[in-house]
Each structure stands twice: as C-alpha cells, then as structure tokens.
Amino acid sequence: MLDGLKQHYANLLTSGGHLLMLAVGARIGTPEAWLASLGLMGLIGFFAWMGNTRRSRLILDTPTSRIASAAQGYVEFTGHAKSAPESPLLSKLTLLPCVWYRYVIEHKKDSEKGYEIVDQGVSDDTILIDDGSGQCFIDPDHAEIITSHKQVWNKGDYRYTEYLLSPLDTLYAIGEFTTLGGANSSLNFKEDLNALLTEWKRDKTQLHERFDLNKDGEIDPREWELAVLQAKREVARQHGEIRLQDGTHLMRKPKDGRLFLLSNLSEQRLARKYVLWGWFHLLTCLSAVGGVAYLLGV
C-alpha cells in the first residue's frame, strides 16, 4: 500500500524538487550551478511528463467493462464500493464506516515550526465493487488511492489527518482482473485420476465389490481397466461440476507494472488531473531547457 501512496504524491514531490533545484542554483549563483540545477529540472520534468501522460492515456484508452462479462487481464470498472458484510470496516480516528482509510497523527515540534509524524497507518481490508452485473473483490495492496474524503483537525499539539473511501462512493478501479475458480479453475486431470485410484486401492473391500466381476478375489487386468475407465468418468464429472460453479472475481496490482488505481473521482476528473500535471511538468522541462540554452549561448 505504501508504494501506492508514494505514487499518489509523486507530482507534489517533483514540484518540490523543481523549487529545490531553483533554490540551489540561486544560492550558489555560479553558471555551472545554474546549468546543473536547470538540467536536473529538465530531466525530472521530462520523466514526470511521460509518467502523467502514460497514466492519462491508460485511463482514457481502457474501456469500462462489466464485471460479469469482463475479459481476464487489464480492465476498468465503475461501481458502488462495499465492505465485506461479515466484517464492516471502521476508520481508525473517526470510527466512520468505510471501505478504506489512511490516517496520520503528527506532533508539533517544540523548537521548530512544523510537525513530525508520530503515528500513521493504512487499512488493508479487501474492497468489494458492485456494478450491477456482478461483484469483484479488490486487493488494495500497492494500489494508488485518490479520494475526495479528507479530514484534518487539531487537538492540542497534535494534528490528525484521515482519508477515507466511503461505502456510499461510486468507485473507479483500474487494474488486473482475474477469476479464481469456476470456469477458470486450474485442474490437473492426470493428478486427480491418480489420486482417486489410490484412494480406491486403499479400500480393497469396496474395490473388489465394484470391479471383481468373476469373484475370484483378484482384480485382473481387464477388471482394472474397467476401474480406470470408471475413475476417468468420475474425475471428468467432478471437473465439470467445479467449472460450472461461480468463480470469485479479483482485481489486483498488474504484474507488468501498469497503473493500479482506485478513486471516488470520475474517470474524466482523474484523466484531466494527470493531463494538467503533465502539461505543468512539460512546461517546466521546456523552460529548464530554454534556461540551459541561454546560459550556453545557443
């Protein structure tokens, strides 16, 4: 989960990096320092622009799927957020019903301005999304989570901050979708057949009652062949019943590193957010490149 939170603040951190580079260049004041600062700004701005552009394109170019008919792989869902009915989740600080929370407790420093973190945490409970066609569990580990529900309050020398995803929210989710069990069950016919035959061999009395056709007290090759054929039919029937059962849908972090995002903001607002950040970083990059060109007299 912490990886996702770091991604969430990446744009703010890179913006702070731009200001830091300017401050370093201004403090040292030499042409070489300005060249290094502006060059680093341009490099940071370029990669930040690429990252935000990639995110906006993934959000806009991935079609919204219905859970009941979604293909396995990278998908996008929009539905109502729900917590597991058997274990409803309450936020850490305000004890409000939620499907996800993050909290930070900070203490005011005595000798300096600002606060220092004394406690923080993030829930890791599974989230349920329901789009009307079906339900899908979401493993929020390593997800980037953006929410409009944020509360900040002070009590004495402490500052409390809490972020929530509410059960009343319309949830946007993009990530890797897979169905466990059901038609997608991973079954090994040969292993299951051998296991069933081994089980039958242990109960020799039952085995002879079923397959010792000539009642001579032995299972001859022909009778054993009939037993194997019956076992194959039994395993095939069992596999068929398993695949007819409903599978469990799950969304998780993509293995190829693509965006894994949960938010109560709409798809359009999320895409616009990344587009605007992308333009900001691109302009910063171009400005830095222009500054380098000016210093070099190009």
Same domain, 136 and 273: yes
Are 170 and 194 members of one domain?
no
pLDDT for res 6: 46
Q: Which of 207, 227, 244 is the endpoint of a domain?
A: 244
What type of residue is 183? A
Q: Is 138 within 8 Å of 125 (Cβ atoms)? A: no
Same domain, 95 and 116: yes
Q: What are phi and psi of 246, to 5 degrees?
A: -70, 135
Residues 148 and 47 in one domain: yes
Q: How high does pLDDT run on average in the chain?
A: 83
Specify the long-range contacts of residues 58-66, CB closer than 8 Å, at least 24 apart: 58/174, 58/258, 58/259, 59/174, 59/259, 59/261, 59/267, 59/270, 59/271, 59/274, 60/267, 60/271, 62/174, 64/267, 65/177, 66/131, 66/133, 66/134
Q: Which residues pair with 79 in a beta bridge?
A: 171
What is the C-alpha separation between 242 and 183, in angstroms, rounded?
7
Q: pTM of the entire structure?
A: 0.70
Same domain for 38 and 142: yes
- Per the structure, the count of domains in the chain is 2
State the pLDDT at residue 115: 84
The H-assigned helical ranges of 113-152 are none
Task: Return the half-sphere exposure (C-beta side, CA atoms, 13 A cut-off) of residue 251.
Answer: 28
Are 204 and 284 contained in the same domain? no
What is the DSSP secondary structure assignment for residue 265, as one 8-state letter?
S
Domain range for 267 is: 2-181+247-296
User: Which residue among 203, 225, 244 closes a domain?
Assistant: 244
Same domain, 172 and 236: no
Cα separations in angstroms, 271 against 33, 55, 147, 221, 255: 36, 8, 14, 68, 22
Co-location of 57 and 110 in the same domain: yes
The dihedral sign for the CA sequence 211, 213, 215, 216:
negative
**CA-CA distance, 235 to 242, in Å (whole number)?**
11
- Specify the pLDDT at position 5: 45
Among the three residues 200, 224, 244, which one is the final residue of a domain in this structure? 244
pLDDT value of position 159: 93
Is residue 38 domain-shared with residue 82, that is, in the same domain? yes
- Assess whether 156 and 70 both reside in one domain: yes
Q: Which two tokens stand for residue 76?
A: 């996008």
d(CA 134, CA 248) in angstroms, rounded, equals 10
Sites in the chain below the pLDDT cut of 70:
1-18, 25, 84-86, 111-112, 181-187, 239, 241-247, 298
Provide the pLDDT for residue 2: 42
Same domain for 136 and 265, yes or no, is yes
Specify the pLDDT at position 113.
73
Claim to verify: residue 233 and residue 251 sit in the same structural domain? no
- 10-28 and 267-296 helices cross at what angle (nearest 10)? 20
For the CA atoms of 269, 275, 279, 282, the dihedral, rounded to the nearest 10 degrees, stands at 140
